[in-house]
Amino acid sequence: MFTRKEILTLISVASVNFGSMICYSILGPFFPTEAVKKGASQTVVGLIFGCYAVSNLISSLVLGKYIVQIGAKFMLIAGLFVSSCCTIIFGFLDRAPAGPIFISLCFVVRSLDAVGFGAATMSAFAITAKIFPNNVATVLGILEIFAGLGLILGPPLGGWLYQTFGYNVPFLFLGCLMLIMVPFNIYVLPSIEAVPSKDSFFRLLTHVKTILVCYVIFTLSAGVGFLDATLSLFAINRFGLSNGYVGLIMLGLPLVYILASPLMGYFTDKYPATRVAFLVTGGIAATIGFCLLGPAPFLHIQSQLWLLVVMLGLIGFSLAMSVIPTFPELISCAYEIGFEEGLSTLGMVSGLYEAVWCTGTFYGPIVGGIIVQHLSFEWAAVVQGGLAFLGVKLKVMYITLVLRVA
């Protein structure tokens, strides 16, 4: 049974996860169209989305290193405040002059939003691991439900508000909603005292196991980013579906993910030895899912809508098997090489996790889009499956080497 402090922390972090992800995901249905009207090319629109990942990556590494000096609670609340203000400001960018001024403001506001988002989510990870040291995976599995719900509800809610009330309202509504969470979290979230550590990211990355886990994180986020950027157009062109039906199909992945995440978290905490097995099995499932998503041209299987939906569900399940164990596995890696137990180490691990995840979300849409443009969606999906399979192979090779040495 959770204590009062743990329950309040859970409520606080869940609200941050939900609010941050719903604000992050509202742009998709309508912003590209508005940006093109303001003189932005498709390439520039892609860069506006991409700058979010780059800013998040850089800020995660810096803030993760200095989380103790800044304070985990202050970082979360300040990040939430910055992100909510940037969301509101984004709602007024339609009034900016078209052309370079509008585009520049989009880059600035989106980048600042990413810094706030990174600060809030990274400190939330660290606080969760600090408050729930023996149930990290279980709690993360529960929290991923709220993050998934934010991602699921963001696009349809943003699209409906945009169609009904115009460009400004989606940003104003969700920005104000997040702003209300600031005083709530000031009251609810416990303060955490800690001592700064002299350890660094570079020392953490000297551990081979850490690099392998980071590669797994990278492949996961790259796969998600690839699907976000390319799946809808493939489904429309291949099956002649409307945007509404494509949206329903794309719900398959996050729905399976949020349903499976708590279960994976429970088993990861109850049986820590299963982490590696989950990572390997999840990688195999992802390989199969991406190779049959198209399907791969060399399989000579006709593309079917039901097969696409089933494979999206399989990829969602593979994400749950792989995402949930990676954070506690990174914490274990840090302790194995002598990092001190405490908030400082958890902050660095959280920063590293966020940075690697952002690298994947930046890589996936860009490289996947290039492959789709020059080859096809089917081959691009095969490449993503190949990345997942390489992670499985490297992990198995590492385990074999460790067993031989032992």
Domain layout of the chain by residue ranges? 1-191, 195-405
Model pTM?
0.81
Which tens digits make up the pLDDT trace of 255-293? 888 888 888 887 777 777 777 777 788 888 888 888 888
Q: What is the pLDDT of residue 149?
A: 84
Helices 243-250 and 305-336 meet at what angle, rounded to 10? Answer: 40
Tokens 């199909």, located at residue = 249
Which tens digits make up the pLDDT trace of 13-35? 888 888 877 877 777 667 777 78
Which tens digits make up the pLDDT trace of 304-362? 888 888 888 888 888 888 888 887 888 888 888 877 777 777 777 888 888 888 888 88
Exposed/middle/buried for 104, CB within 10 Å: 0-12, 13-18, 19+?
exposed
**One-letter amino acid identity for 30?**
F
Distance, in Å, from the CA atom of 275 to the CA atom of 381, rounded to the nearest integer, reads 26
Give yes or no for residue 363 having a pLDDT over 70.
Answer: yes
* pLDDT > 90 fraction of the chain, expressed in percent and rounded: 2
At the topology level of CATH, where does 195-405 sit? Growth Hormone; Chain: A; (1.20.1250)
Distance, in Å, from the CA atom of 112 to the CA atom of 54, rounded to the nearest integer, reads 11
Which tens digits make up the pLDDT trace of 71-90? 888 888 998 899 899 999 98
According to DSSP, residue 376 is labeled -
Give yes or no for residue 195 having a pLDDT over 70.
Answer: no
Q: What is the pLDDT of residue 81?
A: 92
Residue 334's alpha-carbon distances to 209, 211, 213, 271, in angstroms, are: 10, 12, 12, 20
Yes or no: domain 1-191 corresponds to CATH 3.40.640.10: no
Which tens digits make up the pLDDT trace of 140-159? 788 878 888 887 787 777 77
How far does Cα 247 stand from its chain's mean position? 19
Which tens digits make up the pLDDT trace of 196-209? 667 666 777 777 88
3-state secondary structure at position 295 = coil
According to DSSP, residue 190 is labeled P
| pLDDT mean across residues, the chain | 80
Please, are residues 173 and 46 in contact by the beta-carbon 8 Å criterion?
Answer: no
Residue 38's alpha-carbon distances to 88, 106, 225, 358, in angstroms, are: 19, 11, 25, 27
1-191 and 195-405: same fold? Answer: yes
pLDDT category, 243, cuts 50, 70, 90?
Answer: low
